[in-house]
Amino acid sequence: MTGASSKERHAPAEISVEDIARAVGGTVVGDAATRIRGIASLEDAGDGMISFYADRRYEECLSGTKASALLVREKTGLFAGPQVVVSNPQLAYARVSGLFASPVPRYGEGRDRAVVHESCRIGRDVSIYPFVYIGKDAVIGDGTILFPGTFVGDRVRIGAGTVIYPNVTILQDCRIGDHVVIHAGTVIGSDGFGFVRDGDELVKIPHLGRVRIDDHVEIGAGNCIDRAALGETWIKAGVKTDNLVHLAHNVVVGEGTLVVALTGISGSVRIGRRVVIGGQVGISDHVEIGDGVMIGSQSGIAKSLSPGEVVSGSPSMPHRLWLKTSGLIKRLPGFNDRLRRIEKKIQDIEKRLDRAGRE
C-alpha cells in the first residue's frame, strides 16, 4: 500500500460551543449549541469561527469582529455572541486550535523506496515515507512517523508516537523518547567542536558520546545538537526549541525549558528547569543556569546565573538595570559634550583662581 493511509484521521468539521467549553474547562455565556468550524484572530474570524480576547488594547478589533463565539477571561458587553469564560484565554486558544488541527499525515503501511536494514526493530503502525534510511540495529517505536529524507543511524532508538519531519539526520547511538517532534532539517548527533593544537596542526577530539532527547520534546527546524565528547548531550522532558538553535557537546537542558531562535549554547553548559532563553542569546561554555532563569534576547551570558534571575544585555546584568542602561546609551554623546563643557569651565575657573592667588 502506498500514498496516504486509509486510517488517517481528520479534524472535526464542526463542534459546538458547549463541547469547546468542556474541552478547555470553561463556562458558556450565551447559546452553547452554536456550531464552530474553526478558529481565527478577531480581525480574520468570520461566521462559524471562534476567536479569543485577552487584552484591552484590542477592544476596537473586538467591537468589529465577525466571529460567532469568543474565548474570554470575563464576560464582555462588546460582543453579542456566545462567550466561553476561562481563566487563561491564551491557553484555551492553544487547546481549541488543537481541536481543529489536522493530524500529521501518514504514508501508509508499506516501505516503498525506503532503505531499512534487516536488523531493525520496527513497531506497530509506523509510517515510513519514501527515501528514508534506517541503519542496522535501530529501534523505531509504535506509531512513529518518518518523513522523506530522514536518516536514522546505526543503533538509534526512537520512541513511540514521535514525528520526524523531512531531511532530519539522527546519527548513530542517539536516543529519542516518546511523543517527540523534530522539525525539518535538524541534525542530531553531529560531532562537537573540539580540537587540540599541536604546533600548526589542529588535532580533532573524537566525540564518542551520544545525544539523548527525552519524552515530549519539540525541536525546531534547522537545529544542530552535537553529540557528547563522552557521556550524553541531554535534552530533558518537555523542552521546546525554536528554529536555528545550536546545542554544543555535553549540554544538559532541564525539563520544560524554552529556547528561542538563533541561540547558541556552548559546550558543557548546564541549564535548569523551566528556563526561558530569548532569541539570539549566546552562552559561554561550562556555565550553569539555575531553575526558572529568564534571559532576554541578544544577551551574552559569560558567567553562571542563580535560580530565578532575570537578565539581559551583553555582558548580562539584571533586566531592570539593563533597561535603564540601554535607555541611556543613545544619550551618551550628549552627556559627553556636557562633560567636556563642564571640564572646560572648571579649568577656566581654576586658571582665574590661580592668577588671583598670584596677584
Catalytic residue numbers read 249
Please state the three-class secondary structure of the chain as a single string. Answer: CCCCCCCCCCCCCCEEHHHHHHHHCCEEECCCCCEECEECCCCCCCCCEEEEECCHHHHHHHHHCCCCEEEECCCCCCCCCCEEECCCHHHHHHHHHHHHCCCCCCCCCCCCCCEECCCCEECCCCEECCCCEECCCCEECCCCEECCCCEECCCCEECCCCEECCCCEECCCCEECCCCEECCCCEEEECCCCEEEECCEEEECCCCCEEEECCCCEECCCCEEECCCCCEEEECCCCEECCCCEECCCCEECCCCEECCCCEECCCCEECCCCEECCCCEECCCCEECCCCEECCCCEECCCECCCCEEECCCCEEHHHHHHHHHHHCCHHHHHHHHHHHHHHHHHHHHHHHHHHHC
